[in-house]
Amino acid sequence: MWDKITTFLSFTGIADKTVWQDVILSSFLIPIVIFLWVRFSKWWNSIRPSRLIFKDYLSKNSPVYIFHSQMSSADDNWNLKINPKYITRFPQPTPTNHANLGVQQKFNIDPVSSGADSECVADVFNILGLVQKTKNIFIGDLINDWNVWSNPIFSVGFNPKTHKFIEQCDPIFFQLEGASLKVKNTNISFDSYLPNDAGIIQKTFNREYKTPVFILAGLGTIGTSSAGCVLKNNFVKLGKLFGNNPFCVFFKVKIDEGKNSASIQKIVPKPKWPRVILHPVLYFFFKNKGYFEIKNEN
């Protein structure tokens, strides 16, 4: 066969059949190798912990919604105030008062957002950027987008949407009891009494649509602003131990030291054994810190 091919291509001036063997085999092998490499790269990218934890969020065409509290001004009876007024303060030193603050007037800008929610939302955008999700990300409107349930969602703070997700999603590993967050079915709870605040990062799934929901919320403002920071600093580690499975992180933060003082206290449930086998060093590092030590109620 190779002799016939060499004779057929003899007009090129190359009569060595080994040359044509190399050329023809390479023309088949190179595309196959490239195809297999591309497929392997996509597979490897899909199982990376940093992407696996956000598996259903990363499709370019999949809309992702971020919900947070939207607040309007109210009167003393909690009725919506008409034509509310706000001010923005900024440094405006004078010759006699270097600490003087200037005032910029604002009218009819409802709804407004808290600084804590805004910081957490900014961290969510940073996280999605780190895992290469940069398109089709929307800030959900609590009124106009209330019926959005079937998309991957982040819900920031204990806003009305978050409370609805607690009803609609499974599993939920925490209980909100007054001024404390409790590890469900245990005696372990975290409060927001000075100088501490507490918060949770709950990954769960909507029972009806099977889509993922991240709840990032604190008991107070510093707890909520810290939730995004804690997730940003730990999402790769959490991806290693939980993959695309649900989990809940409980953390505490010192109000007088800011969100960078946030520290993980507990993580539930324990990772599944296949994840532990893949990442034993990280698992035992977390285990030795007592993150997985949970005592059930009597």
> Between vectors from CA 164 to CA 118 and to CA 68, what angle results, nearest 5°?
10
Specify the DSSP class assigned to residue 275: H
Query: In this structure, which amino acid lies at residue 280?
Result: P
pLDDT of residue 17: 56
pLDDT of residue 154: 98
What three-state secondary structure class fits 159? coil
Low-confidence residues of the chain: pLDDT under 70: 1-48, 296-298
Determine contact, residues 74/68, Cβ cutoff 8 Å: no
Selection from 272, 263, 172 nearest residue 213 by Cα? 172
pLDDT of residue 236: 94
Determine contact, residues 274/241, Cβ cutoff 8 Å: no
pLDDT in tens, 227-246: 999 999 999 999 999 999 99
Q: What percent of the chain has pLDDT over 90?
A: 64
pLDDT of residue 5: 53
pLDDT in tens, 241-295: 999 999 999 999 999 888 889 999 999 999 999 999 999 999 999 999 999 998 7
Q: State how far the Cα of 90 lies from the Cα of 100, in Å rounded to an integer.
A: 9
Q: State how far the Cα of 95 lies from the Cα of 79, in Å rounded to an integer.
A: 43
Phi, psi of 200, deg, nearest 5: -135, 155
pLDDT of residue 40: 46
